[in-house]
Amino acid sequence: ILNYKYFLKDILYIIFKNIKKPYNMPNSYKRVDAHLSNLGYCSRGEAKNFLKMFRVCVGDERIFDANKKAYHNDITVDDEPLDAESLVILMNKPSGVICSHNDAGVLIYSLLPIRWQRRNPKISTIGRLDADTTGAILLTDNGALNHKLTSPKSDVAKVYEATLAEPIKGDEVDIFASGELLLNGEKKPLLPAKLEVINPTLVRLKICEGRYHQVKRMFGSVGNRVIALHRVSFGDFSVE
């Protein structure tokens, strides 16, 4: 497990974890400059100078030829193995951070180590969280995994902790669990959701869908309003 800590705006620490290998990890065979550029160490054009500045070895042999072909797992940089060819990252997202590659404000990818920001293919979030929502979000450069977990057919459970503007009335548990709740503007009711009441204005909600602003709209449909939202977990991955 790799842990990286960054201090953000003198307020909070964000912790990143390289948490799991989603499939059998590849061990591709290609030119060293391709390995380095794909993993964000340098561009192909910078590879020649990179080999001079850093001790890059294939096996026990230091190399200076960026065109040399090698297996990923045989390459080291300053005696450290290359970063994994595929990453899955769990982030405890802070408030005010935007899940976008191109937008104004603090972008979620700017919080990653610089080398990870330069990877090709790019790292992308698996789904999104609103800027004002905190908590668990996965990021990956594995397109197939991303598609699988964001597909409408996916039933990945998400658990949210919501702070409400008004106290719970008492019938929300049954309404959310009914599988009959129809959000405004939609034709298909929501799947059953599990609501746990922590106190009258603090609840946990487990859902298996990812509709637009779903949690906020669910509470809006019963006459309440979410004033703070934190995602505790995404599937098996939790930030608690």
Number of other CB atoms surrounding residue 130 within 10 Å: 14
What is the spatial distance between Cα 157 and Cα 208, in angstroms, rounded to a whole number? 4
**Which structure tokens are listed for 166?**
């008004």
Residues with Cβ within 8 Å of 136's Cβ and at least 6 positions away in sequence, in order, are: 90, 91, 92, 93, 231, 232, 233, 234, 237, 238, 239
Reply yes or no on whether 130 is catalytic. Answer: yes
Run of H or E residues at 173? helix 172-177
The answer to whether the bond into 121 is cis (omega within 30° of 0) is: yes
* Active-site choice (65, 78, 79, 130): 130
- From the list 135, 111, 141, the residue with the least C-alpha distance to 8 is 111
First to last CA, the chain: 17
Give the active site residues: 130
